[in-house]
Amino acid sequence: MDAQTEGERRPMNRDPGQQVLVDNQPQDPQRRMPDTSYPRSTEGILRMCAVPVALTGIVLAVFGNTAGIFFIFVGIAFLIYIGLVFIVEVFVPGIYIHRLVDAIICMIFCTLWLVAAIIVTVYAVQWEIAALQGAAFIGYILMLMSCASAFFAHRTWNRTKKGSRPVIV
């Protein structure tokens, strides 16, 4: 038999269940590309817009001494949750966050943002720190964004009555 050169490909008779080798690497025939429908959805767009807003709020709360600790905690937890949702929704094929659970978690974050914004508002008025006033304003905006995200997640669940396979039950 001839030695097969690197650029030459010969057709092979193989079983349908046999694994395909390309450049001596096994290729999964069921391999899927990242799902780009979530970043284009209303929930995905809201969450992408919430990331820079939350980062700005965290930076402003850092300048408020110890008054912004809870705000920073909520902001970091929110960013971690958004990151996990994007990783699961976009890069893990076949697994999605259940929309009803997502709506409940967003409502929890809505409440946390309200409490954090109220705490920061009280300290901002008491100590007259401009950075805390900005963080309080951003906290209220993030509260509204979380409520809107919860509304759209619940609406999606209500229309489809599905969440594919829930990751969090």
* 5-9, 34-38, 149-153 — most confident range: 149-153
- pLDDT, the chain, mean: 82
pLDDT recorded at residue 167 = 47
Gap between the Cα atoms of 71 and 129, Å rounded: 15
pLDDT greater than 50 at residue 166: no
pLDDT tens, residue by residue, 102-149: 999 999 999 999 999 999 999 999 998 899 999 999 999 999 999 999
Both tokens of 47, joined, read 């969450």
Taking Cα atoms as reference points, which of 44, 57, 50, 53 lies closest to residue 87? Answer: 44
pLDDT tens, residue by residue, 21-47: 445 555 555 556 777 888 888 888 999
Taking Cα atoms as reference points, which of 25, 34, 50, 30 lies closest to residue 110? Answer: 50
3-state SS assignment for residue 24: coil
pTM of the model as a whole: 0.76
pLDDT tens, residue by residue, 61-98: 998 878 899 999 999 999 999 999 999 888 887 777 88
| Helix, strand, coil percentages, rounded to 5, for the chain | 65, 5, 30
pLDDT greater than 50 at residue 169: no
For the chain, give the longest Cα–Cα distance. 87
